[in-house]
């Protein structure tokens, strides 16, 4: 079994008001990925994904395109030390 990984992503573009957070939550729960996602005041969406490397990579890839209706301009993806999070929440 692979060691868990953690990625923090900041997604910019038309990413608020398009069910980005809820869709990401469903994707994360389906893959067993822990973490959180939130709308930022600057119009971006920020998320932390923690879990199996392949599952986290799939969530980061999801963020590159977003749900239907989203228009992603850019994504910042930063690896971090896992904290042992459990569950996934919308903040």
Q: Which of 8, 12, 14, 39 is catalytic?
A: 39
Q: Which of 6, 21, 25, 31 is catalytic?
A: 21
pLDDT at 1 over 80: no
Q: Is 39 a catalytic residue?
A: yes
Distance CA 44, CA 55 (A): 23
pLDDT tens track for 29-53: 999 999 999 999 999 999 999 999 9
At residue 2, the pLDDT reads 82
55 is written with which tokens? 């599952």
Residues with Cβ < 8 Å from 19, sequence gap 6 or more? 67, 69
The per-residue pLDDT of the chain, averaged, comes to 97
Q: Is 25 a catalytic residue?
A: no
């Amino acid at each position: 079994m692979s060691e868990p990984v953690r990625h923090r992503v900041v997604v910019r573009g038309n990413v608020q008001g398009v069910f980005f957070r809820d869709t990401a939550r469903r994707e994360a729960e389906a893959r067993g990925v822990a973490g959180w996602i939130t709308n930022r005041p600057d119009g971006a969406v920020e998320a932390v994904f923690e879990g199996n490397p392949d599952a986290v990579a799939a969530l980061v890839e999801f963020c590159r395109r977003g749900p239907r209706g989203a228009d992603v301009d850019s994504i910042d993806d930063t690896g971090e030390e896992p904290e042992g999070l459990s569950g996934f929440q919308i903040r």
